[in-house]
Amino acid sequence: MVANINNFQVDLSKPIDISIPLSNTEQNPIAWYIDKPEIKPVVFGDWTGSVKAGASTNFNNIYFNPHGHGTHTECLGHITKEFYSINQVLKQFFFLAELVSIEPEIQGEDAVITKNQLEKALNGKTTEALIIRTFPNLENKKHQNYSNTNPPYLSEEAAIFIRESGIQHLLIDLPSVDKEHDEGKLVSHKAFWNVKDVNNLNADARLNCTITEMIFVPNEVQDGSYLLNLQIASFENDASPSKPVLFEISEI
């Protein structure tokens, strides 16, 4: 199916899924010092919710953490005292997006995505959503345990640049835009959402903006412009597991 959107043509029959599936196996990615997800049948006395166990249906409970178990989209409620829900904040689901690939700079013991790198990668382009793929882009990103590994992260200056560029939705293939052990400062989260006080939200905080972490963009997908479909589950929570999908676009 081919659709025309504004001045672009989109082939909706060729989606590029950049989410990581959630499973109850050792192959599931993990961050923030938690165990793997649990997916197991409900048990009521002698009855087990599994067709293999003799039930008429499979009836599983799922226990997981959206921030630590895979691709997820979060709103500023992730860092504020007041409750904000991703389900209430994200009401539009299609955006023009720019995919850029960056090899983080080594700064001491850290690997950091800098403002200068983003400026060069975007080269003056404006976009609603920015997707950052980090190099090296290895398959183990889909299965890695990131806990206590000091993954690459986004500098505060880079996050400010993204905000000042008018980008509303940031997607990245890392467990966080911030340094793993940062004493709870979360400077890049705060800079992106323009949150100045987590206890008393400022009027110009970016309520309508989202961060999506732990994506995976295959190497064969080229940098450039795409249509992004940012899908979430309807959780009333600061974050939801999500399924960002890209579509190639061409000018009409």
> What pLDDT digit, counting tens, does each position of 67-82 carry?
999 999 999 999 999 9
In this structure, is residue 40 part of a structural domain?
no
pLDDT digits (tens, 9 = 90+) for 133-164: 999 999 999 999 999 999 999 999 999 999 99
In this structure, is residue 47 part of a structural domain?
no
> Could you tell me how many residues make up the chain?
252
The CATH code of the domain that includes 106 is 3.50.30.50
pLDDT at residue 205 is higher than 90: yes
3-state DSSP call for residue 29? coil
Going by pLDDT thresholds of 50, 70 and 90, the confidence category of residue 1 is low
Cα distances from 236 to residues 6, 10, 66, 85, in angstroms, run 32, 32, 12, 5
pLDDT at residue 113 is higher than 90: yes
Residue 138: domain span? 2-22+67-251
In this structure, is residue 229 part of a structural domain?
yes
pLDDT at 114: 98
pLDDT at 214: 98
Going by pLDDT thresholds of 50, 70 and 90, the confidence category of residue 4 is low
| Cβ atoms 134, 161 nearer than 8 A | no
Q: Which amino acid is at 128?
A: E
pLDDT at residue 2 is higher than 80: no
In this structure, is residue 221 part of a structural domain?
yes
In this structure, is residue 17 part of a structural domain?
yes
The position carrying tokens 């400010």 is 160
| Cβ atoms 185, 215 nearer than 8 A | no
In this structure, is residue 74 part of a structural domain?
yes
Number of independent structural domains in the chain: 1
Q: What is the 3-state secondary structure (H, E, C) of 101-147?
A: EECCEEECCEEEECHHHHHHHHCCCCCCEEEEEECCCCHHHHCCECC
Q: What is the DSSP string of 224-248?
A: EEEEEEEEE---SSSEEEEEEEEEE
| Mean of the per-residue pLDDT values of the chain | 96
pLDDT at 8: 78
